[in-house]
Structure 1
Amino acid sequence: MNEHKIFSYPKQPMDEWITSFYRVRGVESHLFNFHSHQEYEIYFFHSGDCRYLINNRIYDLQPGDIILLDGMTLHKPNPQPGSTYIRSMIHFSPIWLQELLIILGIPNLLDPFQKLNNCLFRTGYDESGIFVDEGMKRITSLMAHLEAELQQKGKKNETIEAEIRLELVQLLVGIYKMSQKELAQHTNKRTEKEHHAEGIASWINNHYTEKVSLDRLANEMKLSKYYASHVFKEVTGFTVMEYVMGCRFNQVKYLLEMEPDQTLGNISRATGFESIAHFSRFFKEKAGITPSQYRKSRLKMDIAGRKEEQV
């Protein structure tokens, strides 16, 4: 796996500002959980047999497909066993670029991530697809050089860091042009199974804060329990209840960070958990820390970020 991570300034040692993966192979299962993150993501699909679930939408990917993700929307690739699954990804913090974009006079450069609702570009490896592929390759190479120098000399090379920023801006300019030409917004022809799976996902997104059961879902969707359960697992790669709990987990993280005065009991009830004990146990199992510890860590990062801006 070609993976290179760059970390931010010493004042925020655990806050990654950009992460790059170029032409990663394989189907390591731990990488394909239903997840969200605060960074924006550029995802490039090279080859394999893979469906990609974004909230309640499902895409059958084709080589050259590019997905722009706002990060916070739940998403998950579902590569098929036995296929040679190859993809590239860049995660980056919009805050890290904010000042540079203002200086360059292009403050709207991130609009495709903010306004296109996690769109897909179907390039077919045309000129625009090759441009994005090569840009991601250059960024990964520069990050490898930066990491090597950091390990050898114990300090970052600011020239290489500046090159990475500029390469990313150039890549984002190309993506912005693609969005202006409306190359995104590809509408897949859905099979009946995919149509039903998307309907189930949409229903869950509207009801996950309530008491959810397969009986209720099947009844309201006018499907048999067996069919609803099996078609959702077949198309998305996980069960109905795994999707429900993924939605709840994502909302819990949002509320813990954005509503610091909310009690854990209120958050537990607002996100559909039957008890605060189940809520706390589930969160620690998924996040590795308790809800209170997660909230404290996010608040510390927020305070550190504000201090950074004031320096």
Structure 2
Amino acid sequence: MRKNVSGGSMSIPSITSTQLSLSYCRNTKPDINFHSHEEYEIYYFHGGECNYIIGDQIHILSPGDLILMHGLTLHRPKTFENKEYHRTTLHFDQVHFRGVLRQMGMEYLLNPFFSLQSYRISFRDVKKEEVEQLFLSMNQFKQMDDAISQYRFQLAFLDMLAFLYPYCQESLAYNSEPQSEKEKNVQKIITFIESHYKEDITLDQLGEVLFLSKYYLVKIFKEVTGVTIFNYLFHRRINQAKIELLMNTKLSITELSYLIGFKHPSHFSKVFKEITGVTPEHYKEVIKAKMP
């Protein structure tokens, strides 16, 4: 085990990959469905083509775009066939780093992640080069296995948080790519689902609300997001189920299934296991075991 590197009364402890994980400038295109996680995330788009869906927002990305994410909000990148996709992702355990930053009196650097939930910043020209250099430095330190380099890996990450914070506080406007009519309609579908996912949603209802053919809605939703409307709806409900269990483990599985919009608890349990890999009962027990 590495010894902590410290100076004075403050110490930055050694870390594990679950506490700080950097995936630098990847160009593969894995089939990632809608998902959520407890770690905070920094996502940076280097280039290619990607639509990033977070909650009820569709971000049409340009090189230099960076997104801060809470993690628990349902999200997914949508890549395109025959198009490049280069990105860097950084996940970190907010509990661990909240403790580190508290020692420095800089705990506020994490405020954008939970106050804004997801926040997009567009870096261009010199600022784009600067943020990419920060990611590069982090990756270089990560590749080295000595204690000092791992310490500098954490320091580079903290420097990244300090670099990004002013952009969030000032709520700087960014120049987003204009949405096509097709993407605007998909945005309307997602926004409608976000407001009504606990209700009995049908394709006929969506068509009536948006004044469009339900067959057209099915087609464009799959083109823009990569999944079907009901696949997204079920992921939204299961994500909410996980949040509800985190907040109240006393909920029965039957109560939970009705709460998030399923008519039958058996259907809820089946969908929950398909999406998470475990039954809701097992997930609930794992949460309860983690509680103090």
Q: What TM-score do you get using the length of structure 2 for normalisation? A: 0.88
1:175 pairs with 164, 171, 184, which one?
164
How far apart, in 2, do the equivalents of 1:270 and 1:142 lie? 47
For residue 180 of structure 1, report the CA deviation from its aligned partner: 3.4
Q: Which amino acid aligns with 1:301?
A: K
The equivalent of 1:25 in structure 2 is 27
Aligned residue runs from structure 1 range 55-66, under 5 A: 55-66=55-66
Q: Which amino acid aligns with 2:143?
A: A
How far apart, in 1, do the equivalents of 2:104 and 2:173 lie? 25
For residue 43 of structure 1, report the CA deviation from its aligned partner: 0.6
Say whether the 8 Å CA contact 1:178–1:184 is kept in structure 2. Answer: no
The equivalent of 2:284 in structure 1 is 295
Q: CA RMSD in A?
A: 2.2
The equivalent of 2:9 in structure 1 is none
Deviations along 1:178-199, one digit per CA (max 9) or x if unpaired, are 2234335544422211111111
- Is the partner of 1:58 in helix, strand or coil? strand
- Is the partner of 1:133 in helix, strand or coil? helix
Aligned residue runs from structure 1 range 213-252, under 5 A: 213-252=202-241
How far apart, in 2, do the equivalents of 1:70 and 1:27 lie? 23
Q: Which amino acid aligns with 2:22?
A: S
The equivalent of 1:142 in structure 2 is 141
For residue 259 of structure 1, report the CA deviation from its aligned partner: 0.8
How far apart, in 1, do the equivalents of 2:75 and 2:205 lie? 24
For residue 160 of structure 1, report the CA deviation from its aligned partner: 4.4
Q: Which amino acid aligns with 1:225?
A: K
Q: Which amino acid aligns with 1:27?
A: K
Greater Cα offset, 260-269 or 17-26: 17-26
2:259 pairs with 270, 274, 296, which one?
270
The equivalent of 1:129 in structure 2 is 128
- Is the partner of 1:71 in helix, strand or coil? coil
Check 1:296–1:162 CA distance in 2 against 1; reply closer, same or farther (3 A cut): farther
Say whether the 8 Å CA contact 2:144–2:150 is kept in structure 1. Answer: no
Equivalenced residue count is 280
Greater Cα offset, 184-193 or 49-58: 184-193
How far apart, in 1, do the equivalents of 2:268 and 2:182 lie? 32
The equivalent of 2:69 in structure 1 is 69
Q: Which amino acid aligns with 1:142?
A: F
Q: What TM-score do you get using the length of structure 1 for normalisation? A: 0.83
Deviations along 1:53-85, one digit per CA (max 9) or x if unpaired, are 111211211111111111111111111111121
Say whether the 8 Å CA contact 1:46–1:63 is kept in structure 2. Answer: yes
Deviations along 1:33-65, one digit per CA (max 9) or x if unpaired, are 111111111111111111111112112111111
Q: Which amino acid aligns with 1:232?
A: F
Check 1:197–1:215 CA distance in 2 against 1; reply closer, same or farther (3 A cut): same
